[in-house]
Amino acid sequence: MHEHGLKTKQQVETILKGSRSQMTQNPDSLAVEKNLNPAFGERACAWINTSLRKIGRYGFILLGLPNIAGFAVVALLAGMVVRLVPRRNRRVLFAVAEALSGFATVFTTVSLARLARIETLSWMFALSWAWFFFYFVFKNRFAEFFRSAVGLFCGLLTWRMITGQA
């Protein structure tokens, strides 16, 4: 080995000979072992892994658009009100803002669905709830999740009363 952990040409050839002998001994293992199949090299696996992460991240953001928009509305309102509230009561203000974020999520979901000309269905609110769940619970922020979920539930009840679906 060289000083930086690089292998010499002879060591690489020995490793390759060992891989070839493994290939001739068990040809059925080609699909299982990525080291023996050049199509599944390190670069391809890294690219696939990175691509899947990006798709997951973009999908999470796309499904969370109503939640993010509801949070933005409440954050703007809370930003204006925070200057009027004394410092000792700000924790209460932030707790109320989290509940209002869930409440506003219902109406941003309805607005975005109507903008996209999609009929508003109950599963859309289940997606919002699931988004809050994944966002808060995986960060061990159970209280924030509970407040947002209660706000979402109250917003759903309010929306059903307004539309006459109660």
pLDDT digits (tens, 9 = 90+) for 143-156: 989 999 999 999 98
pLDDT value at position 22? 46
**98, 149 in Cβ contact below 8 A?**
no
Digit-coded pLDDT (tens) for 64-113: 888 888 888 898 888 888 888 888 878 888 888 889 998 999 888 888 88
- E strand map for 26-108: none
Q: What is the pTM of this model?
A: 0.61
Nearest alpha carbon to residue 106 among 154, 73, 74: 154
